[in-house]
Every structure is written in C-alpha cells, then in structure tokens.
C-alpha cells in the first residue's frame, strides 16, 4: 500500500530545504527556513529559546511572530554546528532575542553561532564561536577556530580570525563569487549531484 520512497538521509521540503534526519532541531515551530537550505547531520538548532519579551511594535497587529531562528536561502549548516538565539538581561528581565541568518551563509563544522544577525554571503569556518549579539554584515569570512566576541560588529568584506577575532584582511573584489552556495546545495541531499569541474 505504502508508496513511500525509501527513506533518504535527508528530509527534502517543498521549498527545497534539505534537513538531515540526524539533525537536532528543537522548537521547530520557531525555526524559519527560507528555502534551499541544507542542514547536515548532527546540526543543532535551538528554536525553543524564543524571546519572552514581545518586540516593541508587536501590538501593531498581525500574528505574534515568535521566530527564534530565521535562516535565509541557500544556507549550509555543516555537521555538528549549533545555532542558538542570544540571550540577555533587558530591563531587569532575561530574554532571548532572535538569531537571523541571511542568504548564502555557510556555517562550518562544530561551530556555535549565537549572533544577533548574520548577513548575506557569509562564510564561517569550522570550530568557530560567534558570541552573543554579534552582527556580521555581508561578504564576511570568519576563519577556522576564531572566537568572535559578544557584541562585535564585523563590516562587509572583512576577513576575521583570532581569539578574540579581529579584522585581518579584506575580501578582494574577485572573491565575492566564491560565497555563492548554489553549487554546494546541489552536492548534498538524497540525490546529490557531482560537483561541476
């Protein structure tokens, strides 16, 4: 009776997201995926840590948006990385705030991201720690093993490294195409395609 296809390693959604069955997603109702995002096995996303204080202009109608982690299109979350919303004391009360990732964000293996905002076309290496409420703008590369301290702002076209991270270089004009993750998206999933030469 069941015409279920054989279970693949990934759950592939209508919007093209590829979510590994071995990924740990807590509080899925608060996790928004923009589409065509890859979540590899052993990735952990803490959607359950939603904000407890409603945003300032939530009274202006519309359903209460309780998104804890918002991820754009063509993001790639490598094995073992962890996304969790940042938390802080606000007017004497502790609250979590949403974590937002733009499009084409690569998160390396074993990396922990607690940023407030990651822009578009950002490459975060492996074993990186992005501190709470950090803001990373577009076209930024965070090298492996970096510790981006809490509240740090990283401007566009920066290359950062170190503990704590500092800007150590600039992305050259010719280097911005390499942030594109469309090709990488195709190489994973239940029907992975070989990489073009």
Partner 1 sequence: MSSATPSPVPSSAHGHHKRHSILPAVSQSGPKPPVQFSSSCTIADSALLTGPHTIIVSTESVIHPRARLESLGGRVTVGRRCIVHERACLGAADLQGRYHKGSPDKEGRSMGAVTLGDYVTVEVGAQVESGGTVIGEGTTVGIGTRVGAGAVVGKHCTLTANSTVAAGEVIPDYTVIYSNGLRRIDRRGVSELKNKAQARQIDVLRRMIPSNPGKFQ
Partner 2 sequence: MFGNNRLPAFHPGLTQSRIRDTTTGSGLWFPGLRSPPLPSESDPANDQLPLPITPEDLYDTPMAPFNPYTYIRCPCSELNPYTKRTPDVTAQGLSRAAQDDDDHTFDPRAARSNYSLYPLEYLSFCEDCHQIRCPRCVAEEIVCYYCPNCLFEVPSSNIRSEGSRCTRSCFQCPICIGPLAVNHVETPPDPNQLLSPDHASSSHSGSYVLSCSYCNWSSTEIGIKFDKPNSIHMQLAKLRNGGETRLTAKERKERRKEQASQGGGGGSSTGQGEEDLDTLLDMETQFANLKSFYQNQLSDANGTGKVGGDPSAALGNLGFDAPASLSRIMSLYTGSSSLHDKKSKSRPGTMREALAPSEGLQLASLDESSAITALQDFESTTGLDAYSSTASTTQLQSQAPYLGASPLHGLTRFTSSLRPIPYLLRTKRSKRCPQCRHIISKPESKVTTTRFRIRLIAGNYIPTITIKQLIIPGLTPPPMPNLPPDTIEPLKPAQFVLTFKNPIFESVRVTLATPATTPGRFPAKVTILCPQFEIDSNTDVWEEALKDNNATSSSSQAQNLSSSTGPEGSGPGGRKRAGTLRPGTAGGASLAGEELGPEVGKVWERGRNWTSIVIEVIPASLVQTAKRDGRGPIKEDEDVLEIPMFVRIEWEAEAPEDEIMPGLSSTKGGNKDGGKEKRELAYWCVLGLGRVARTL
Q: Which residues bind partner 1 (CB under 8 A)?
A: 4, 11, 13-17, 19, 21-29, 31-36, 44, 46-50, 52, 70-71, 73, 82, 84, 87, 89, 92-96, 110, 112, 127, 129, 131, 145, 147, 163-164
- Which of 86, 125, 130, 136 is in the footprint of partner 2 by CB under 8 A? 125
Work out how close the CB of 114 gets to partner 2 at its nearest, in angstroms, rounded to a whole number: 12
Site string for partner 2, 126-145 (x = CB under 8 A): xx---xx----xxx-x-xxx
CA atoms of 79 and 51, how far apart (whole Å):
26
**Residues of this chain, 63-82, that bind partner 2 according to CB under 8 A:** 76, 78
The answer to whether 43 and 26 are in contact (CB under 8 A) is no
Instruction: Please identify, using beta-carbon distances, which residue of 46 and 121 lies nearer to partner 2.
Output: 121
Q: Which does 112 bind (CB under 5 to 8 A by kind): partner 2, partner 1, none?
A: partner 1
Nearer to partner 1, 14 or 173 (CB): 14
* CB distance 141 to 123 below 8 Å: yes
**What minimum distance in Å lies between the beta carbon of 142 and partner 2?**
9
Counting contacts by CB under 8 A, is residue 14 touching partner 2? no
In the bound state with partner 1, the residue whose beta carbon lies nearer, of 50 and 171, is 50
Q: How far is the CB of 178 from partner 1 (least distance, A)?
A: 23
Instruction: Give the long-range contacts of residues 87-94, CB within 8 A, separation 24 or more.
Output: 87/49, 87/132, 88/132, 88/133, 90/53, 93/52, 93/53, 94/52
- Smallest distance, partner 1 to C-beta of residue 119, A: 16
> What minimum distance in Å lies between the beta carbon of 26 and partner 2?
25
């Amino acid at each position: 009776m069941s015409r279920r296809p054989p279970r693949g390693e990934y759950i592939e959604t209508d919007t093209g997201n590829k979510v590994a069955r071995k990924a740990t997603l807590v509080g899925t109702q608060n996790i928004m995926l923009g589409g065509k995002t890859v979540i590899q096995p052993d990735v952990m996303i803490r959607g359950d840590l939603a904000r407890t204080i409603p945003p300032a202009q939530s009274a202006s109608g519309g359903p209460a948006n309780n998104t804890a982690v918002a991820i754009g299109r063509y993001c790639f979350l490598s094995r073992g990385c962890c996304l969790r919303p940042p938390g802080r004391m606000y007017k004497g009360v502790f609250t979590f705030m949403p974590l937002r990732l733009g499009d084409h964000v690569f998160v390396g293996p074993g990396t922990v991201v607690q940023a407030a905002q990651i822009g578009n076309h950002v490459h975060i290496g492996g074993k990186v720690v992005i501190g709470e409420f950090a803001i990373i703008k577009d076209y930024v590369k965070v090298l492996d093993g970096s510790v981006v301290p809490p509240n740090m702002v990283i401007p566009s076209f920066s290359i950062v490294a170190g503990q704590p991270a500092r800007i150590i270089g600039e992305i050259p004009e010719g280097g911005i195409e390499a942030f594109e993750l469309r090709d990488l998206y195709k190489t994973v999933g239940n029907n992975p395609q070989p990489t073009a030469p």
